[in-house]
Every structure is written in C-alpha cells, then in structure tokens.
Structure 1
Amino acid sequence: MRAIQYSVTGEPDVLTLVDRPMTEVGPGEVRVRIHRSGVNPTDWKSRRGSEAGTPVHPAQVPNQDGSGVVDAVGQGVDAALTGRRVWLWEAAYQRPAGGTAQEYAVVPVRHAVPLPDDASYDLGAALGVPFLTAHRCLTVTEDGPDRLGPGKLAGRTVLVAGGAGAVGNAAIQLARWSDATVITTVSSPEKANLAALAGADHVIDYKQQDVVGEVRAIAPHGVHTIVEVSPAANAAIDAAVIAPHGSVAVYATDGGATMELPVRASMVPNARWQFVLLYTAPESWRPRGLADVSAAVEAGAVRIGPDAGLPLHHYPLDQAADAHAAVEDAVVGKVLIDVI
C-alpha cells in the first residue's frame, strides 16, 4: 500500500512516499481504509523534532487525524464495525505505523469513532486535534461544566484568541453550540470575517482595537473562559479580562518557551491558568470529549469549509510534504490530504 513516512527528523522533504506492507490487525484493533488525512501543527512539530537529522526507527507514518471506512477488525472487536465510516484521533501517537498519511491505518478500536452518513470525510479528518483541544479548553473552568452541549455554557462568556485558526474555529463552534456568548480576537478584516462565519458573537481586531476595553464593554464582569493560542503576547490582556474563578486554557506556545504571568491580577479573581496538551490530558476527560464532539457532529452543530470560517486546502498523498509545509507556514484554514 502507498504510505508517507519519515526515517529522520527535519524539513518537509524528509517525508517520502513508499510502498509499505499491509499492517495486520491485532486484538482490539481495527484497520481503516483512509479517505482523508488531516494535518495539524502537532504533526509537523513531531516530524521536525528537537534536532534535524535525528534518526527515526522504525520509520514514522505521520498525521494523527483522519477519516475513512473500517476495512477489518481484530479479535474482540464487533464484526459489525466492518464497513462503518469513522473518524480517527491520535492515530500516530506512540504508533509508528499508525499515522493516517497512508492508504490503510491500524488503530485501537477506541480511536475510531463513528462518522454519521451525512458528515463528510473532510469533516471527519478535521475533528481530532482541533475539536478535542477546543473541548478540553472549554471544560477546565472552576465553576464551569465538564461537558458541552446545548445550554451547558448558557450565561457564560468565552474569549477565543485567534478565532480564524483551526482550534479557534472549533472553540467558537463548540461554545456557540453550548449557548455561550463568544468573543474572539483576530489580526485582520479577512480573519474577522472567518471568525464571524464560525459563529462568534463579537469579533475584535487586536491590531486596530483595544482588546481589554472592548472585552470589558461586552462583559463588564469579565469572561469565564479564555481559549489562548498566544500566551506570551496575551498574558496581561487575559489577566485583565478574566472573571472571578475564570480560566485561561493555554494550548499553544506562541513560538516562545516562556511567558510573564501577572501574578496579582490572576490571584485576585482566583483565576486558573490551565495548560492543555491532548497526549497527556487526564484519561477521565477523554471519554467526555469524544462523546461531546461526536454529539455535536450528530447534531450538525459543527462544520468546516469557507462558509464555516475554515477554508479547505486539499493535497494528494504524494504531495504530503507540501501539505506539511502549508501548515508550518500557518496557512489560514484546514489542510487535508486526499488519500482516495
């Protein structure tokens, strides 16, 4: 079968199209015929590694997210799953042969989630990293719910930094589905339009407007949850607008390793600074996140594409390096690899 792999860390050109043998299905596993492979920043960061040129053995098939059809099941797995449409999450994590940038991927059955017939493979491949990250960010607030869905965030205000990004888009959609008032910040009129299409109630251009003043005008008592993509740049702003017992959920590093934390401004409201990484998130949260994202898909509450504020960029499998480069260059929208 055709597959993309890398045997050394580095630039996108370390990704190579090869012919790999079909992976056998083990107990508790399913094999999925991949239709779409989603590319996220975590994928290129893993490929680049901490030092270019580091050998990777065995060779790694990249990409955590994907969608397709169950082709075979292992011992202990319900045979009725064969032929089912599914979306995959963390397919490549600690599984060198499990990534979705290949024609067939074998993963533990819990990593293959049913995809409704009316949901596209494009949507399925866009769910894992962005929507699960967004769910985690939206459910870590002290007095907030640990589940999402209609009414769960009613009466609450959420601030999403970077509403035109994939996680920002997912956070806006999930928060609106849960009936929150959603404020988001962007850096241009074009991105403002995308955030509005995603469903944000209020959009602030941080290059043209005073974010603290605008947020406080909308939410005089502060915002309950902040989904933060740029902590090094925004820590002071976040501390200035957080509500009592609110949380700042940090899911990205903003390219920097450190940030200055406003201690007093965070202490007075008993604010929580919560760092979010899917791979090491508490296991107790994971079933809730998967269930809620699945429920949102079933309800038709989440969308992708230009009309949903998330333009799509498609690449064939043999151009996986270009797909990785696009994400690494911070292209606006969702990058997908068409395996079929």
Structure 2
Amino acid sequence: MTMAQRSGRWSALAFGAGFEGALALVALLLGWMTGFFPFAGTPWTWGDGLLGVVGTLPLLLLFVLLVHWPIGPLVRIRAILQQTLLPFLAPCRVGDLALIALLAGVGEEMLFRGWMQPLVASWIGPVGGLLIASLLFGFAHYVSMAYLVIAAGIGVYLGLLWMVTGNLFAPIVTHALYDFVGLIYLLRVHRWGGSEAPDPIVPEDDDFTPIPTRKGPVSNQNGPILNQNGPISNQNRPKGEQEEMKAAYIEQTGPANVIQFGELPKPTISGNEVLVRVEAAALNPVDTYIRSGGIPMELPQPFIVGSDLAGVIEDVGPDVTERKVGERVWSTNLGSFGRQGTFAEYAAVDASWLRPISEGVDSKDAVAMALVGTTAHLGLFERAQLQAGEVFFINGGSGGVGSAAVQMAKIAGATVITTAGSEEKAAICRELGADHVLLYKSQDVAAEVAKIAPEGIDVYWETLREPNFEQIVGMIARNGRIVVMAGRDATPPFPVGPFYVKNASLLGLIMFAYDAEGQRKSAEDISRWMAEGKLRSRIDRVMPLAEAAEAHRIQEESTVAKSGSLSGKIVLVP
C-alpha cells in the first residue's frame, strides 16, 4: 500500500466514522433537550437482533434491483456513487467498512427513528411521524431526486420495523448490515473491475464524449499495461540514466487525491513520434472519469492523466516528415487506449495526432478548444452535414461542446437556437453568436422553437443523457437530423412513426471513433477559425500543473455534483 493509499484510507475512515458517530451524539443531545431519549424503552435482546438480520433481506433484494436494473435514474445513481462516494471509501479495509456501517446504523437510527419519529408522532400522530422522519431521512441522503425517493422509502421500512417491534435495536441491525453488505459489493465491483461500469454523468452544460469500453491488452510503447484496478508494479519503469520531468500521474484509480505530482522519466521517442514540451494542458470531464475508474480501461503504469496539450516540438523521430523542431502544436485524444496523458512537462506523441497552432493564437486558447472543438466540428459537419441557411438547435450553448457548436454553426451560416439555465449563461450564448437563447427553466422550449422556426429544426443536437424524443421529433423539420452524443445506458422511448414520415435521420456521435486522419479536417478548420478570430475558447481559470488534483476536484464538483461552478475550461500550465 502506497503512502497515498494509507493517507486515503485513514482520511476516509476518520471522516466516515467521525460523521456517523457525531450523529449519535447529536441524537443524544436533542433527546436530552426535548425529553425524547433515543433509546427509551429499548430492550437489547437476541430476538430483536435476529429480527434485524432477517429484516435486511428485503432491502438487499431492493439493492440488487437498483444495481442491475438499466433505467436512466438508477444508472445515474450508480454513476454518482462510482465517481464520488465509492472512490473515497475505496482505500478502506473490510474492518473499516464494518465500523463505518455500524456507526451509520447506530447514529442515523438514533437520530431519525429513535428521536425524530417519536417527537413528530407526538405532534401529528404515528403515521405523520413515520412519513416526516422518513422524508427528512431521504433528504439527508440526497444525491438525485430518484435516490431521495428510494432513501425515503427505506426510511419508511425502517420506521415500520421500529413501530412493529417497539425496539430501536432491530432497525439499527438492519441498517448497519445493509450498509455493510452494499459497500462490500459495490467496492469490490469498483476496485476489482466488475463488468457493470456505469455511464459517466453528462450534465446539460458538460463537454463529455463517452469512450467505448475496450477489453483485452492495449499496446503502448511507454510501459507495461496493467488492469486499471490492480496493484502497480514499477519493475519496468526506466531507471536513473534518463532525464526526469515533472508530471501529474496516478498509480491506482480513485478520487482526485490519488493524483500525485512528482518526477517521472522524460519520455524518449522513436519512429513517427514527436517530443513536445508542454506549455498548456486542458482538463476535460472525461479525464476525471478515467482517473476515477468510472470508464474501465487498461492504463499504462504509472499513468499520466490528461488528454489535451499545446506546446512546442523539441525533437522528432526518424520517420517524422510533417512536423519540425520549434513548431507550436496542439493535440487531443491522448491519455486513453494505451496512450500516456498530457499533464506533464513533456509528452511523446505520434506525429499524426499533432496539429499546428496558428500565429497569434495563445497555447492556452488552443488547448481549451482541442477536444470540445473537434467534437463539435465532427458532429456538425461530418455527421449532420449542416448547411448555410439551415436552423440549428443545441441544448446548453454555454457548455464546452455547446459553446464550440454555437460558434461553428454561425460560421457555417446557420440560424442558431440554444438553451440556458440562467440569464448569465444566456448572455454568454448571445456573446458567442446565438440568434435565439431560451431559458429552459421558465420557458416552453418546444413552443418557442415553433414560433422561431415554423418549418422545424434542420439539425437538432441533443446533449442530455435521457432525451425526450417525442418532443424532439415534433420539433425537427422534414429531412431533419438529430445528433446524440451521450447516454450509453439510456433507453428512452422513440416515436418511430412520426420520425420516419419526416424522412429524418438519427445520428450517433463519438469523437473517439475517428482516428487521427478522420479528425484532420476538423483540426484544420479549428486552427484557421481561431487565427481569424471567428472561434474563441472559454477558459474559466488557469492553474499550475502541481495543482492537478485540486483541478480534478473542482471539475468533478462542477460536473458530477452539478454545481455549475465552472463557466469554461480549466487549463493547467507546467
């Protein structure tokens, strides 16, 4: 176990046990203040303990259903757990999890069933006490609306168990055992590479293009490929005769704090490879999914995180013909499928993946446009074949892909309609060139679109994971095209009849299906438009490379937790 693992284990144990234990103390204090002592009249008997064990079985059946039923809200819950709670608890041992689960059972049952439920029942009756305490129990576990409903239902079950037995001991045992078994199962799937990895969350204003799961060995010249959940071996790491460089890297998947910053061997090049001195690297949501293990893939060891870079060529391999030393370049699609990432002072990149940076374009701006710009260009012009004079619609025009698509559609001569969640984001969309911006929280989007484009939308770009296709098909024009780019596990209903009579097309888009040559035209247009000032990057903040772990935490807070705290890219500089 590495120092980072040990630190992560004790931090998780201290926080988990400390928080749950504190709930018990709060319950005792509130009981003393109100006269409703949590353990009043509780007989601690073996029979009640056995009843608590048996009472776990219905909850475990529910747990199996929640883990394996492939519907959108449950997939989202699994994704949230995989990317937040489970990576945080992953360093814990079985005994640690047992302690946390026990304290959760004791603390939460003392607070919600032992104190709150009888207190509220004394005011509005037993049923009211049960429902109010259960609802607040649900809110205390809120990660999504679906999870709130599920947690409230579990609260009702535990409350009924308390009411039937008149004994807090039974729900404590049920709660603790359920938490323990659930954590053990989920953490084994998360830690040892279970077959059901959740789809990463794609909020409306996100810029994530999902990577397809890939099984089997992946070739990589930089080092051995090991299973992303397994232990790390350094036996093949180049030794001290090589030059060193600073890099942000991981030796295991997990939460943001598994990222280490330190010395690694400076890469050597051969064949068609190019050595790039990195001037800037951009952070994408997909980088956090790979780092956390949310997207299972085999990674080199140690693995340098990051997928985009901009910098200067310092050396070229003997087979390189297109690139030259001193040239400024940008690249995307690194840091996956055996390729090392970009969060380092230097990177070895196959020359086919490098694109020239035009004169007058800053490296930070170039790298901030790399992934999102390529995705937008492929979707608009390769897949949807957007033409001048057509009407283009995209959800979330202030997001990463959204902001690039809005600008590119205007460059192509289309009328652009987009949505925003606030006046602030709407202003950003207008600044980017959107002709019409709809506030989806207060306006009827379909009705407003019908007024703007009576003949319908020619190209509709959907960024949401669970599209409402009935509404979308109603909004598109004859010969309209719908582009979807998110939701690997999504299975929304689709109105085949209304769709085919419009002679419409449904187009899937995954950027990583295109190789370096397939992305060349996109890169050429992006570089030219940026040089002409027609295409602008949106950068929220610039951070030093040494703060890569903090950058990942901020990115996850904005996308996974959906705080929306970012209004552009995070760019890191060595």
1:138 matches 2:380: yes
Cα distance in 1, alignment partners of residues 568 and 388 from structure 2: 29
The residue aligned with 2:535 is 302
**Residue 420 of structure 2 aligns to which amino acid in structure 1?**
V
Question: C-alpha separation between the residues in 2 aligned to 1:167 and 1:272?
Answer: 21
Give the match for residue 324 of structure 1.
552
TM-score (norm 1): 0.88
Gaps of 5+ in 1: 146-152, 305-309
Q: CA deviation at 1:196?
A: 0.9
Which structure has more helix as a fraction of its residues? Answer: 2
**Cα offset, 1:261, TM superposition:** 2.2
Report the Cα offset of residue 226 of structure 1.
1.6
Larger Cα-atom Rg: 2
Residue 158 in structure 1 maps to residue 392 in structure 2:
yes
Q: Distance in 2 between matches of 1:285 and 1:313?
A: 31
Partner of 1:87: 330
- The equivalent residue for 1:49 is 293
Deviation at residue 138 of structure 1 after TM alignment: 0.7
Aligned-partner Cα distance in 2 for 1:55–1:244? 44
> Does the CA-based 8 Å contact 1:36-1:337 persist in structure 2?
yes
Contact 1:32 / 1:69 at 8 angstroms: preserved in 2?
A: yes
User: How far is the alpha carbon of 1:311 from its aligned partner?
Assistant: 4.4
Amino acid at match of 1:91: L
**Cross-structure match for 2:499:** 266
Task: Report the secondary structure of 2:262's partner residue.
Answer: strand
Give RMSD over aligned pairs: 2.3
TM-score (norm 2): 0.53
Structure 2 portions without partners, runs of 5+ = 1-244, 560-564
| Secondary structure of the corresponding residue to residue 139 of structure 1 | helix
SS state at 2:566 partner? coil
Task: Give 1:225 deviation, angstroms.
Answer: 0.9
Asked if the contact 2:368/2:571 (under 8 Å) is kept, the reply is no
Map 1:141-290 → 2, pairs under 5 A: 144=385, 153-253=387-487, 257-281=490-514, 285-290=518-523
**Superposed CA offset, 1:109-154 (max 9, x none):** 1211110121011111112210111012112556x35xxxxxxx31
Shift of 1:4: 0.8
Paired letter, 2:316: V
Deviation, 1:287, is 2.5
User: Which one is further off, 279-288 or 213-222?
Assistant: 279-288
Please tell me whether residue 125 in structure 1 is matched to residue 358 in structure 2.
Answer: no
Q: CA deviation at 1:233?
A: 4.1
After TM superposition, give the deviation of residue 194 of structure 1 in Å: 1.1
CA distance in 2, matches of 1:32, 1:312: 25
1:189 maps to a residue whose letter is E
Where 1:323 maps in the other structure, the secondary structure is helix
User: Partner of 1:14 in structure 2?
Assistant: 258
Task: Tell me which residue corresponds to 2:278.
Answer: 34
Between the two structures, name the one with larger relative contact order (CA 8 Å, sep ≥ 6). Answer: 1
CA contact (8 A) 1:141 1:246 kept: no
- Cα 1:28/1:214, change in 2 over 3 Å: same
Shift of 1:262: 2.7
- Which amino acid in the other structure matches residue 327 of structure 2? R
Cα separation, 1, equivalents of 2:316 and 2:346: 13
Higher mean Cα deviation, 169-178 or 256-265?
256-265
AA aligned opposite 1:262: P
**Counterpart residue type for residue 121 of structure 1:** S
Cα contact 1:232–1:260 (8 A) shared by 2: no
Q: Distance in 2 between matches of 1:235 and 1:282?
A: 30
- Which one has a larger percent strand, Structure 1 or Structure 2? 1
The structural deviation recorded for 1:244 is 1.6
